[in-house]
């Protein structure tokens, strides 16, 4: 990723400016409208390398003890975090563990936040998220109070989208100008219908949209059916993050199994995909895959 695409305006970190922070351009030529900032990320596996995919086991990533969201009151119980990917603008993806004692007051975030529950349950104001529940909280939208429900800790994918570092500010109302229409407070993915995928490479698969960006990218669940064989490597002309929820898929010589993570930068060549038993993935992509040329297979 070139220096032009790595820069961002640090003046937008000021409390009064975060709603107007300029998006960071994507390295495939996009203008940043998707606001996911998946371009040019480092991972727990290695530093960012253009066009080089990275697969790794998140269970092998070291845990940060005493983790808390910047700005949370000191009396809020801290959790644990495994940092998976990050961008210098402040965007990151983590596997977060919140103890059952966790409670936090209502407030707003200074950057877009996405949450996907892997285990346990949490309360977000009037709404509850249980296993495979999803929430998208735009910058400046008031949410909460927060609370872990039940007798076990909550384990979630915690995705800070930037383009400024995320902070929590206590608030009783939305910030003027916040994108309330984009707010997804609580989505139970188990209730959503399965649909078709957007690419020929994954015809033997099913897809559930969780959120669709204005540029056609977004977040979804991908179920690869048993006996799938992609037959050929593919060039991915977009940035992607993927987390295996269950099952497995062999990608070249790498067996992608539960709790393993993928970061695939734009224009990287990913080996042949195969599985006998099938698999389920949580996926984030910053481009519309239905457009011709975004995924290319070759013999």
**250: exposed, middle or buried (C-beta count within 10 Å: 0-12, 13-18, 19+)?**
middle
**Summary mean pLDDT of the chain:** 91
Q: In CATH terms, is domain 192-297 a member of 1.10.10.10?
A: no
Confidence of residue 299 (pLDDT cuts 50, 70, 90): low
Residues 6+ apart with CB under 8 A from 74: none
Confidence of residue 282 (pLDDT cuts 50, 70, 90): very high
DSSP string, 70-108: TT--TTSPPEEEEEEEE-TTS-EEEEEEE-TT-EE--EE
Q: Per-residue pLDDT tens for 60-104?
A: 999 999 999 999 999 999 999 999 999 999 999 999 999 999 999
The sheet with strand 295-297 has its strands ordered as 268-270, 234-236, 295-297
Query: What is the reported pLDDT for 214?
Result: 85
Dist CA 57 CA 261 (whole Å): 6
Dist CA 262 CA 45 (whole Å): 10
* 3 state DSSP class of 156: strand
Q: Top-level CATH class of 3-190? A: mainly beta
269 — phi, psi (to 5°)? Answer: -100, 120
Q: Per-residue pLDDT tens for 131-166?
A: 999 999 999 999 989 999 999 999 999 999 999 999
Q: Per-residue pLDDT tens for 161-197?
A: 999 999 999 999 999 999 999 999 999 999 999 999 8
Which one, of 99, 75, 74, lies nearest residue 150 by Cα? 99
CA 5 to chain centre: 20
Domain boundaries, the chain: 3-190, 192-297
pTM: 0.92
Confidence of residue 296 (pLDDT cuts 50, 70, 90): confident
* 3 state DSSP class of 133: strand
Query: Is 3-190's fold the same as 192-297's?
Result: yes
């Amino acid at each position: 990723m070139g220096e032009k695409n790595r820069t961002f305006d640090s003046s937008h970190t000021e409390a009064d400016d975060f709603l107007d922070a300029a998006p960071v351009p994507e390295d495939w030529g996009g203008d940043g409208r998707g606001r996911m900032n998946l371009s040019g990320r480092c991972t727990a596996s290695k530093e960012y390398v253009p066009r080089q995919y990275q697969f790794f086991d998140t269970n092998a990533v070291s845990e940060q003890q005493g983790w808390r969201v910047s700005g949370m009151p000191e009396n809020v119980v801290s959790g644990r975090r495994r940092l998976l990917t990050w961008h210098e603008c402040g965007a990151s993806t983590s596997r977060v563990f919140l103890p059952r004692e966790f409670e936090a007051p209502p407030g707003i975030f200074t950057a877009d936040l996405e949450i996907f529950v892997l285990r346990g349950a949490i309360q977000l104001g009037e709404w509850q998220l249980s296993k495979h529940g999803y929430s998208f909280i735009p910058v400046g939208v008031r949410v909460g109070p927060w609370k872990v429900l039940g007798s076990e800790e909550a384990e979630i994918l915690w995705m800070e989208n930037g383009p400024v570092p995320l902070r929590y500010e206590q608030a009783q109302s939305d910030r003027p100008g916040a994108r309330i229409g984009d707010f997804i407070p609580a989505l139970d993915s188990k209730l959503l219908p399965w649909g078709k995928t957007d690419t020929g490479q994954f015809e033997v698969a099913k897809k559930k949209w969780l959120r669709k960006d204005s540029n056609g990218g977004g977040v979804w669940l991908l179920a690869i059916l048993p006996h799938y064989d992609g037959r050929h490597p593919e060039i991915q002309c977009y940035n992607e993050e993927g987390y295996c929820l269950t099952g497995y898929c062999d990608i070249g010589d790498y067996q992608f199994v539960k709790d393993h993570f993928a970061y695939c930068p734009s224009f990287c060549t990913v080996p042949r995909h195969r599985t006998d038993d099938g698999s389920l993935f949580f996926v984030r992509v910053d481009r519309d895959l239905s457009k011709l040329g975004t995924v290319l297979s070759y013999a």
